[in-house]
Amino acid sequence: MELKKNDIVPLEITDMTGQGSGIGHIDGMAVFCPLTAPGDTINAHILKVKKNYAFAKTESVVTPSPMRTQPDCVCYTKCGGCVFRHISYSEELKFKQQRVYDALTRIGKLNGFMMNPIIGCDDPDHYRNKSQIPVGQDKEGKIVTGFFGNHSHRIIDCSECRLHPEEFDSITAEIKRWIEKNRITVYNETTGKGLIRHIYIRQAKSTDQIMVCLVINGGDIPKQDELIKKLTGSSDKIKSIILNINRERTNVIMGKKCVTIYGKDHITDTLCGLSFDISPLSFYQINHDQTEKLYAKAKEYARLSGNEFLIDLYCGAGTIGLSMAYNVKKLLGVEIIPQAIENAKANALKNNIQNAEFICADASLAAKELTKNNTRPDVVIIDPPRKGCDGTVIEAICTMSPKRVVYVSCDPETLARDLALFTEKGYITEDVTPVDMFPRTQHVEVVVLMSSS
Ligand code: SAH
């Protein structure tokens, strides 16, 4: 049967990708259908046909899979956040585990490594310590706050999200009322006009401090005192209110300049027994409890005896390296964002860590420079953004020839590509542990131990 766009065909869903899409087959051709589950029989509406596969959406469910659960969010399927809310969390973990294994064996062509079971979350709800909520206006002129739809920049009005703390919803509602009451303009991506762009909220989970940051297309806000009074009156957890200036016509959320209008310019969290200051622009892992498990695994992989020289590349605010600083002789962290490096240095001081040094530089330039100086680390930890490492970084790490490389990744596919490069240079992928930092979404974290052969 030749599939065509807009055909409606019966489809039995037999598998699921780690990104949350059900898969069925028609005459040997894979058909990907999001929001379905293995065991479903559906009528599929074909949306796009490629050479060997097709994409579809559900026209109607004929027989639902026993794997299905009732989604517990009104915005599910509308906003671009969760993809697994229609199946149980334990099933979701199995698909994520499989995704990591498939990426490493198929893309990375790796074998012989120890694949450990995924470390799941005790509570898959309310785990996010950070939300960036776009503010806009609908066609009727009503103020909307919520999340962008899947692959789009249309704001889905949504007053509750199960992924972040409930307080984030009440803070957002308070700001929305302040915008409405004072008729403050909101940003329009098409015209580039309007003041309020995003509401950005961060929580330090262990201390329960909250930072509220308004991303604005201007230098200041009207009725500032009223906003501060309302927010601090509604929650005594709010310790910092900040304006982030972003006048650029871009979909990059944050601008470079921050102005503190209430309290401190950071909040303070405790992670792995250490105290960390977090500024609006610094990267900080979004799932506190899972991060402690991830770092513990990374530390186990680093096999530190106390005499090592450890390099932490892509170190953010220094958290991974600092969590191991007491167990090494020397720590060097490298990160490209200046504010994060300032945080990392302050974090070392705050925790009385004296054997750490941090430099603000591009990882590949820094790594090249380090090889020129004949730097010889015993262990290198890398934790790059989703696109993975630059080939030159891998090259430079291998030239420094550490005994062990611990790779922390938030993208199994780019991880697999990079591990293959390390393999070519003689490193052996020994042990792999997926960690679910992002329950209900398509994302999964992985930590890998490589050793020099
Ligand atoms: N290890 C940290 C941060 C990991 S996120 C933690 O666990 O919290 C990845 C970090 O890489 C971010 O802080 C980002 O700013 C940084 N980064 C991105 N590109 C980089 C580059 N080319 N060179 C150095 N750091 C970079």
238-258 tens-digit pLDDT: 999 999 999 999 989 999 999
Domain range list for the chain: 8-63, 91-123+287-452, 130-267
Residue with tokens 């039995």: 12
Residue 1 confidence (pLDDT) above 80: no
290 CA to centre of ligand 1 in angstroms: 18
Of ligand 1's atoms, which has the minimum distance to the CA of residue 410? 5
On whether the CB atoms of residues 62 and 89 are closer than 8 A, the answer is no
Residue 282 confidence (pLDDT) above 90: no
Name which of 451, 360, 449, 365 is nearest 408 in CA terms. 449
- Is CATH 2.40.50.140 the right assignment for the domain spanning 8-63? yes
Give the list of residues 6+ apart from residue 365 with CB closer than 8 angstroms, or none: none
d(CA 356, CA 349): 9
378 CA to centre of ligand 1 in angstroms: 21
The mean pLDDT value for 165-180 works out to: 97
State the Cα angle at 299 between 382 and 202, rounded to 5°. 70
Give the DSSP per-residue string, 383-426.
---TT---HHHHHHHHHH--SEEEEEES-HHHHHHHHHHHHHTT
- Segment 75-114, tens digit of pLDDT: 998 888 999 999 999 999 999 999 999 999 999 999 999 9
d(CA 268, CA 279): 9
Q: Is 316 in the pocket of ligand 1 (CB under 6 A)?
A: yes
Which of 335, 347, 389 most suits a substitution to test ligand 1, by most atoms within 8 Å of the C-beta?
A: 335
382 CA to centre of ligand 1 in angstroms: 9
Query: Residue 336: which pLDDT band, with cuts at 50, 70 and 90?
Result: very high
335 CA to centre of ligand 1 in angstroms: 6
The mean pLDDT value for 55-69 works out to: 96
Pairing of strands 114-115, 427-435: parallel
The protein residue with its alpha carbon nearest to ligand 1, atom 22, reads 362
d(CA 399, CA 114): 26
Q: Is 363 in the pocket of ligand 1 (CB under 6 A)?
A: yes
Residue 451 confidence (pLDDT) above 80: yes
d(CA 323, CA 351): 10
Q: Is 320 in the pocket of ligand 1 (CB under 6 A)?
A: yes
The mean pLDDT value for 139-153 works out to: 90
| Mean pLDDT for all residues in the chain | 96
In this prediction, residue 25 carries a pLDDT of 97
Q: What are phi and psi of 46, to 5 degrees?
A: -75, 125
Check 75, 389, 398, 410 and give the catalytic one. 410
Which of 3.80.30.20, 3.40.50.10860, 2.40.50.1070, 1.20.1250.20 is the CATH number of 130-267? 2.40.50.1070
Verify whether residue 410 is a known catalytic residue: yes
SS3 296: helix
Give one word for 212, left, alpha or beta, with left for phi > 0 and alpha for psi -120 to 50: beta
In this prediction, residue 80 carries a pLDDT of 85
The mean pLDDT value for 409-427 works out to: 97
State the Cα angle at 232 between 228 and 235, rounded to 5°. 150
On whether the CB atoms of residues 186 and 179 are closer than 8 A, the answer is yes
Q: 8-63 with 130-267: one CATH topology?
A: yes
Which of 276, 288, 322, 336 most suits a substitution to test ligand 1, by most atoms within 8 Å of the C-beta?
A: 336
The mean pLDDT value for 407-431 works out to: 98
Which of 277, 283, 343 most suits a substitution to test ligand 1, by most atoms within 8 Å of the C-beta?
A: 283
The DSSP secondary-structure symbol of 117 reads P
d(CA 384, CA 387): 7
SS3 147: strand
- Mention the CATH class of domain 91-123+287-452: alpha beta
Identity of residue 300 = E
